[in-house]
Amino acid sequence: MTRHAFLRSDGFYRLQSFSDSSMSTVSSTEYLYFSEDGIVQVFRGESHLEHVRTNSEWDSKFIGTGIYKIIDDSISVRYLEIYPAASYCHQLPIKLLEGNILQPKSRHSCRVNPENVTWKDECGPLIFIESDTLPDLDASWYKNQKWFWCSDDEFEKWKE
């Protein structure tokens, strides 16, 4: 469990995005893992999640990875996805509602290359799914990149 009573780190949160404001058509399903040290990983669909659950080989570069910060009853999530053809950055503000319901506001995204395109998705509440198998964040491609860290000293300390 994380150090925050309302955010769990012993499983994944399912996030569904909708292609319309009436939230009737699901456009994507992702699974978020919040580590105890402020790192978030985002797995696109069941196939990515299944790789983690079965401990099979997977390329962590193609898993969304970023940071989250908790401020009072809100969580600010920012993460990157890097693919051969395009890279994406996402910002997902989440609000804690009564009954420990985590409700994202609209997710703002941009495709950084080959051209800058921005959009936003409407999102449903996060649904928690407990899991015995969790990602090994130390194996994450992102975490092993010096630019991912806020300071060179923190990166060197982690590498020891």
Residues 7-22: tens digit of each pLDDT: 888 899 998 887 766 6
Q: Is residue 82 domain-resident?
A: yes
Label residues 18-50 b or e (16+ Cβ within 10 Å = b).
Answer: beeeeeeeeeeebbbbbbeeebbbbbeeeebbe
- Residue that the structure tokens 């964040």 belong to: 137
Q: What is the pLDDT of residue 34?
A: 92
Q: Is residue 40 domain-resident?
A: yes
Element (H, E) at 159: helix 152-159
Please give the structure tokens belonging to residue 160: 């020891």
pTM to 2 decimal places: 0.81
Question: In this prediction, what percent of the chain has a pLDDT beyond 70?
Answer: 84
Domain that holds residue 141: 11-159
Closest-CA residue to 95 (of 59, 70, 78): 70
114: preceding bond cis by omega (within 30 degrees): yes
Q: Is residue 5 domain-resident?
A: no
List, for residues 78-107, the tens digit of each pLDDT value: 888 877 777 888 888 999 887 778 888 878
3-class DSSP state for residue 75?
A: strand
List, for residues 42-62, the tens digit of each pLDDT value: 888 777 777 766 665 556 666
For residues 151 and 103, give the distance between their C-alpha atoms in angstroms, rounded to a whole number: 32
Rg of the Cα trace of the chain?
16
Number of domains in the chain: 1
Pure H helices in 20-137: 45-53
Q: Is residue 4 domain-resident?
A: no
Q: Is residue 130 domain-resident?
A: yes
Residue 1 has pLDDT above 50, yes or no: no
Element (H, E) at 11: strand 11-18
Q: Is residue 86 domain-resident?
A: yes
- Residue that the structure tokens 């659950």 belong to: 53
